[in-house]
Structure 1
Amino acid sequence: MAKKSSFGTGGGLPPRRPGGMGTRHARFGPVAKPQNAGKTLGRLWTYLRPGSRYLFLVFMLVCLAGAFSLAGPFLIGKAIDDYIIPGDFPGLLRISLLMAAAYGLGALATWLQNYVMIGLAQDTIRDIRRDLFEKLQTLPVSFFDERTHGDLMSRLTNDVDNLNHTLSHSIQQLFSSGIMLVGSLIIMIWLSPVLAFLTVLVVPLMMMTTAAIAKRTRVFFSNQQKALGAINGYIEETISGQKVVQVFGREERNMAEFKEYNDTLRQAGTKAQVFSGFVMPLMHVFNNLSFAIVAGVGGWLAIHQVITVGIIASFINYSKQFTRPVNEIANQFNLVQSAIAGAERVFAVMDEKPEGANETYERKPLSQVSGHVEFKDV
């Protein structure tokens, strides 16, 4: 009997019956080990490490773009207090040109960081595809006999593509979010410690909400990927063996089994998308709450001449820049969860033992091959 694998397709899938299409799917079961995001990210870093200098360049470009973005709200507040209220039009024109230059340079830095990061991501995915394909060439025939072709194709295509999309966009997004969080907080404390304290009060609610949803949806996204691999495998085997299906009159039975696979994928996808879909509406609620607090308290402070109108305008923009990174992380959450689940499925193939790994004898090359094969007493 072949050994059990860490491959799985999740619960609720119909068993494969002997005859006709084979029994490959019957060997699929629950994942043997719990998902380990830390281990998976560590293995991904081994592929990213050769391009660490490009990661550093991306980080520097993110810092530059963040600095220009942080300068914008400050210049807006200064324009209101020093030029709009006093009616200084030439001064307003000068600071407007300065703001335009800051935002333009920030956009250029953002484009450059995307360009560099996409190139690094493509190189990383190329290496992962190469290693995965080379690994498949070393695996025994029993490995392919025990698993559906569609599931393996799903790992080579869907899972790797999800990982590619996440690497291309999410790493610099995390860098940028961290810089904007820290930078906005420092400037808000400098402008008004009271308003900064009120703004920060909302952030723990946002983080706890995101973490609670993340804990639930990661399992659902993993089940969705497994169900997708299972249905791809069933479709591939049914199409390739359509003549056998028709000869044995299995059309109705196959349609019933496909309905079960399809319903399993629908249920897994619905749970994953519904639970993760709670994130952005809740983030908007917290953002509006923060805006209302800043506007109300800031207006009261301005009436009592504790702060100026320009500071309120700057602070509102900084409060948005402070909460926006949390929103962006939440927006990237679906991709990150799907990519981690897909990477685990890819590395599960790479961890399989190659053919001959358990052999204790030494293989010797043939010294001379004549190409003549003779059967005796067969």
Structure 2
Amino acid sequence: MSENKKGNRSGGGMGGGPMASFAGPVVKAKDFKGTLKRLLSYLKPQRVKFILVFIFAIISTIFSIVGPKISGKAITKLFEGIMSKIGLLQLNMQQAKIAAVINANPEASKSPKIVEGLAQVKAGIAKIMDLNGGKIDFHYIEHIILLLLALYLISTLFGFLQQYIMAGVAQKTVYNLRKDVDEKLSRLPLKFFDARTHGEILSRVTNDIDNISTTLQQSLTQLITSIVTIIGVIIMMLTISPLLTLVVILTLPLYILVTAFVAKRSQKYFAAQQKEIGALNGHVEEMYTGHKIIKAFGHEKDSIEKFKDINDRLYNSGWKAQFISGIIMPMMRFVSNIGYVIVCVVGGYLATQGRITIGDIQAFIQYSSQFTQPIVQTANIANIIQSTVASAERVFELLDEVEEVPDATSAKLIEFPKGEVVFENVDFSYKAGEPLISNMNIDVKHGHTIAIVGPTGAGKTTLVNLLMRFYEIDAGKITIDGVDIRDIKRGELRNMFGMVLQDTWLFNGTIMENIAYGREGATEDEVMQAARAAHAHHFIKTLPDGYNTILNEEASNISQGQKQLLTIARAILANPTIMILDEATSSVDSRTEVYIQRAMTALMENRTSFVIAHRLSTIRDAELILVMNKGSIIEMGSHNELLAQKGFYEDLYNSQFTGANLDNEVV
């Protein structure tokens, strides 16, 4: 199963549970500092905007942080007003009671105790009246509410600006990274792609770069906000009460213990979950692509059973992973609640001592709530950054791959190429010390057809790869019209060639677009003319939309033979000097094979052609047949000459009609 199909966000991949990414396994980079420094270098062109993001994040967070402190003042004022009302009511009642006593007994007014009590009551009433008249100051509270509304609006505005600018910074940075990767891929030699699966390369180009993009867009600003929030909240809590701040900080080890305890136990289940997701995706892909074969051999039940088995294992590991990571938040809420209780008790005591107001206690509870969340977020983001740097490292590994040998500075141009090809003493090996082609010499004249035959792994395709400079030769030289191909720019060299391969390549688009791919700026008439020459025009016109028929992703809405005719039409339109043909008639019916053979004959007419032959009956008329085995040309000549030698070629030829005879195979 290729990586890109089973991959996910590298640092998380957990899904479910608010603490999932914190509890899940983290992919780490081999060289964290070096890779991070290199990744940050991509941010340099955007540094002014990034500094603005940093400033706006700080402003947004600060305006948000001061809110609880200011709202505490409103609560304190409200509390004081309510308490004043209650106090005034109680004093008035006491005054009424004293007045009633005096009215009942005028002599009591001379009592020192009554006089002192009445004086205290009047003094209390006077004090309350001087303070706020026994009323709640709604005007003050209204100002506080408006101030809070303004603060939160400003905070939101700066938060929006921060995200808006960061979106541009992230996308521009990733745009440049993608551009570098795309340009790098175009400069890499064929051996790079041969040594890696398509899935691995696509995973680096898509998943890893998307991971970097998401982190830059979301996690980086969140990290800034979280750090500023932690610092700001600590400062605000200290302004309220250093003692209560100490109480909150002392609960931090409990958070760490809870998280570490759960993360340790959930890690193995998350790893198992990812493994089973990969297995399930691989199985589903296999079953989907091969569903016809499965049905033909009656293995539907086995397929379903295997799916059920993998799905059960995924369920068990996934359930355990999500459950264990899911209990983190309830446990952390429990720790938070313990902290709230202690804050309330200590805060209440300090309030009775007059060392803190009710509003400050309320503000402090809000701050203690705000304090833990950014710590958890910072821990999550630290994991995500680890995974992001690991993704960046994989991308940079691709960017550091050895490129093709640069084109010669004084490159030569063959204005009117004829197609005369010469191999002189060519040596080549994929791996040092393991030669594949040794001392190869071929002289190909203009318009000749050169057939290359031999068993699988003989080096037939390698010969073509060397001719087009997909690989560099170790010794000797290859010339076209007397010019060493190393002295010709690769683009110019490859423009001389047309290719029709066994594995047809058609893209998602119209038939017209697929044929026109052979030559830039080709007209519709030229495309149709090429289709006629390839014997493809008739079947195209029978399709519902003709040349405007859209081929699906795998071009499965036309037959294999029809695909081959379209690729031949594309090659005819390109009008190359040299043709490379990998016969592809083994999977088509006899009638279509005749059309393909005719089309290929028309394509090879008056052109130098290299034909990788599978059916030897199709290359009898070739001017030269090269018989290859284990990278060497062991026989060379025309069809009749090779049969007369009664060697390896004769065995190959006869094996296609009377059964294989490998007695003469070169070992």
Cα displacement (A) at 1:37: 7.3
Judging by fraction of residues, say which structure has more strand: 2
Aligned 1:1-378 pairs, distance under 5 A: 35-36=29-30, 38-39=32-33, 40-82=35-77, 84-86=79-81, 87-137=136-186, 138=188, 140-141=190-191, 143-144=193-194, 146-147=196-197, 149-210=198-259, 239=288, 273=322, 276-329=325-378, 339=388, 342-343=391-392, 345-347=394-396, 349-350=398-399, 353-354=402-403, 364-366=486-488, 370-371=577-578, 372-374=607-609, 376-378=624-626
What do residues 316-360 of structure 1 show as CA deviations (whole Å, max 9, x unaligned)? 122122222123335657755664555455455555555679979
Call closer, same or farther: CA 1:123–1:322 in 2, change over 3 Å: same
Cα displacement (A) at 1:111: 1.1
Q: After the TM superposition, which of the residue ranges 156-165 and 332-341 deviates more from structure 2?
A: 332-341
Does the 8 Å contact 1:294/1:316 carry over to 2?
yes
CA distance in structure 1 between the partners assigned to 2:227 and 2:353 by the alignment? 34
The match for 2:133 is none
Does the 8 Å contact 1:65/1:106 carry over to 2?
yes
CA distance in structure 2 between the partners assigned to 1:36 and 1:217 by the alignment? 24
CA distance in structure 2 between the partners assigned to 1:223 and 1:345 by the alignment? 23
Cα displacement (A) at 1:173: 0.9
Cα displacement (A) at 1:123: 2.0
Call closer, same or farther: CA 1:99–1:281 in 2, change over 3 Å: same
Q: After the TM superposition, which of the residue ranges 272-281 and 117-126 deviates more from structure 2?
A: 272-281
Call closer, same or farther: CA 1:122–1:326 in 2, change over 3 Å: same
Cα displacement (A) at 1:133: 4.0
Call closer, same or farther: CA 1:207–1:163 in 2, change over 3 Å: farther
Aligned-partner SS, 1:197: helix
Does the 8 Å contact 1:155/1:229 carry over to 2?
no
Matched residue type, 2:144: I
CA distance in structure 2 between the partners assigned to 1:204 and 1:253 by the alignment? 52
CA distance in structure 1 between the partners assigned to 2:294 and 2:159 by the alignment? 55
Aligned-partner SS, 1:305: coil
Greater RCO, 1 or 2 (C-alpha within 8 Å, sep 6+):
1
Q: After the TM superposition, which of the residue ranges 310-319 and 214-223 deviates more from structure 2?
A: 214-223
The match for 2:574 is none
CA distance in structure 1 between the partners assigned to 2:299 and 2:191 by the alignment? 27
CA distance in structure 2 between the partners assigned to 1:111 and 1:35 by the alignment? 32
CA distance in structure 1 between the partners assigned to 2:316 and 2:215 by the alignment? 24
Specify every segment of 5 or more residues in structure 1 that has no aligned partner in the other structure, as ranges. 1-6, 11-32
- For the aligned residue pairs, the C-alpha RMSD in angstroms reads 4.2
Call closer, same or farther: CA 1:220–1:146 in 2, change over 3 Å: farther
Cα displacement (A) at 1:286: 2.4
Cα displacement (A) at 1:104: 1.0
Cα displacement (A) at 1:217: 6.8
CA distance in structure 1 between the partners assigned to 2:30 and 2:69 by the alignment? 43
CA distance in structure 2 between the partners assigned to 1:340 and 1:217 by the alignment? 23
Does the 8 Å contact 1:198/1:293 carry over to 2?
yes
Cα displacement (A) at 1:201: 0.6
What do residues 172-204 of structure 1 show as CA deviations (whole Å, max 9, x unaligned)? 111111111111111211211110100111123
Aligned-partner SS, 1:377: strand
Aligned-partner SS, 2:608: coil
Does the 8 Å contact 2:227/2:378 carry over to 1?
no
Call closer, same or farther: CA 1:140–1:266 in 2, change over 3 Å: farther
CA distance in structure 1 between the partners assigned to 2:162 and 2:266 by the alignment? 30
Call closer, same or farther: CA 1:257–1:364 in 2, change over 3 Å: farther
Matched residue type, 2:65: L
Matched residue type, 2:58: C
TM-score normalised by length of structure 2: 0.44
Q: After the TM superposition, which of the residue ranges 278-287 and 183-192 deviates more from structure 2?
A: 278-287
Matched residue type, 2:54: F
Call closer, same or farther: CA 1:310–1:34 in 2, change over 3 Å: closer
Does the 8 Å contact 1:166/1:335 carry over to 2?
yes
CA distance in structure 2 between the partners assigned to 1:296 and 1:280 by the alignment? 24
Call closer, same or farther: CA 1:323–1:142 in 2, change over 3 Å: closer
Q: After the TM superposition, which of the residue ranges 256-265 and 57-66 deviates more from structure 2?
A: 256-265
Call closer, same or farther: CA 1:142–1:307 in 2, change over 3 Å: closer
CA distance in structure 2 between the partners assigned to 1:256 and 1:145 by the alignment? 35
Identity %: 39
Call closer, same or farther: CA 1:67–1:289 in 2, change over 3 Å: same
CA distance in structure 2 between the partners assigned to 1:258 and 1:348 by the alignment? 36
Call closer, same or farther: CA 1:37–1:366 in 2, change over 3 Å: closer
Cα displacement (A) at 1:106: 0.7
Matched residue type, 1:296: V
Call closer, same or farther: CA 1:217–1:156 in 2, change over 3 Å: farther
Aligned-partner SS, 1:85: helix
Q: After the TM superposition, which of the residue ranges 37-46 and 223-232 deviates more from structure 2?
A: 223-232
The match for 1:17 is none
CA distance in structure 1 between the partners assigned to 2:382 and 2:330 by the alignment? 14
The match for 2:426 is none
Matched residue type, 1:38: F
CA distance in structure 1 between the partners assigned to 2:360 and 2:306 by the alignment? 65
Cα displacement (A) at 1:155: 4.3
Does the 8 Å contact 1:279/1:330 carry over to 2?
no
Matched residue type, 2:163: N
The count of aligned residue pairs is: 349
Q: After the TM superposition, which of the residue ranges 68-77 and 80-89 deviates more from structure 2?
A: 80-89
Call closer, same or farther: CA 1:89–1:249 in 2, change over 3 Å: closer
CA distance in structure 2 between the partners assigned to 1:77 and 1:360 by the alignment? 79
Aligned-partner SS, 1:364: helix
Does the 8 Å contact 1:61/1:110 carry over to 2?
yes
CA distance in structure 1 between the partners assigned to 2:327 and 2:381 by the alignment? 13
